[in-house]
Amino acid sequence: MPVTTIDGHEIHVDDEGFMTVYDEWDETLAKSLAAAIGVEMNDEAWAAIRFMRTDFKAQDDVTPTLRRVSTAGGFETKKLFELFPKKPAKKMAYIAGLPKPKGCV
Amino acid sequence: MTATQEAFVPKFDDDENEGRKLAIICSKGNLDMAYPGLILANAALGEGVETHLFFTFWGFDMIIKSRMNDLKFSPAGNTAMHMPVGDVRIPQALAPLPGMQPMATHMLKKQIADLGVPEVPDFLEHIVASGGHLWACRMSADMNHVDMDDLVDGVEAIINASDFIELTDGAQLLFI
């Protein structure tokens, strides 16, 4: 399992660069992760990321899909595409320090 | 454990899909055959691919407001229809019996809902919110005697086959 350093934070990642250790994450790191993939964080983006973190634990370590963020989290799909352009589900998972979502929908 | 020198960040390759287009022709109106197109469209949109769905023939039922909530699934003619548990097939002689279609439809809807997958109208709404484009087939509209008022809100226009061909220039195409 590779280890990489993002903005001074040493983290364990998978082959693609997604974090593998839930507890290595904090919001300072999330800011660096977002910056690394060119996402600007605002209050709404933070709310979505925090939902991702909470829901992952609540669902026994399952990364929520975009659909779930919208239905269970109450975030508008359209908004999520604006906040995390093109690939919202993967980008949110990355910034939240979670594995890529596995579900199809 | 290996340590990498530079920051190792996933390659989202946002620009790599630039110009990639997917066109999906939905021509079936059975509940089970409504889903493949919707699921693939949703996946493509989530990967940043421009996606167009064209509803034609029986697939037109997916976008007619008065029919879209009530798509059916029948085990008749489907030899891959199994009992919920195990590999037991439903005999084809029983498939057309009264009650089989509602039961099969109910079962399929439940299985789909259990996976957190939305029903067809909600799914279409989700696809539109994700930036997907819905198009209705002119000939099917004429055959069904419907116009835009009868179609679900997300449909952008009723277009003919040549419009669709023009619109999907350079697109990858799926016929379902």
> Could you give the ipTM of this predicted complex?
0.86
Tell me the nearest-neighbour CA distance from B96 into chain A, angstroms. 32
Contact of B8 with A1, CB cutoff 8 Å: no
> Which tokens sit at B142?
């004429």
| Phi/psi of residue B40, nearest 5 degrees | -70, -40
pTM of the full structure: 0.88
- Does the residue B10 lie in any domain? no
Contact between B9 and A17 using a beta-carbon 8 Å cutoff: yes
> Which tokens sit at B117?
């997958």
**Tens of pLDDT, residues B62-80:** 999 999 999 999 988 888 8
- Does the residue B11 lie in any domain? no
Cα gap B165→B154, rounded to integer Å: 20
Tally of domains in chain B: 1
Contact between B10 and A65 using a beta-carbon 8 Å cutoff: no
CA distances from A20 to A1, A32, A73, A104, B126 (A): 9, 16, 23, 21, 30
Contact of A63 with A98, CB cutoff 8 Å: yes
- Does the residue B13 lie in any domain? no
DSSP alpha helices (H): ranges in B47-137? 100-114, 120-129
Say if A50 is an interface residue toward chain B (CB within 8 Å): no
- Does the residue B14 lie in any domain? no
**Tens of pLDDT, residues B112-131:** 998 889 999 999 999 999 99
Residue bearing tokens 């509803």: B55
The CATH number of the domain holding residue B144 is 3.40.1260.10
Contact of B37 with B24, CB cutoff 8 Å: yes
Which residues of chain B approach chain A closer than 8 Å at the C-beta?
Answer: 1-4, 6-12, 14, 17, 39, 42-43, 46-48, 115-118, 123, 126, 129-131
- Does the residue B125 lie in any domain? yes
- Does the residue B116 lie in any domain? yes
**Tens of pLDDT, residues A29-75:** 999 999 999 999 999 999 999 999 999 999 999 999 999 999 999 99
| Phi/psi of residue B95, nearest 5 degrees | -55, -40
Dihedral over alpha carbons A41, A42, A47, A48 (to 10 degrees): -50
> Which tokens sit at A43?
């209050």
Q: Across-strand partners of B159? A: B137
Containing structural domain, residue B37: 21-175
Collapsing DSSP to helix, strand or coil, B157 comes out as strand
- Does the residue B48 lie in any domain? yes
Tell me the nearest-neighbour CA distance from A104 into chain B, angstroms. 7
Out of B14, B117, B130, name the one closest to residue A81 (CB): B130
- Does the residue B15 lie in any domain? no
- Closest Cα in chain A to B44: A87
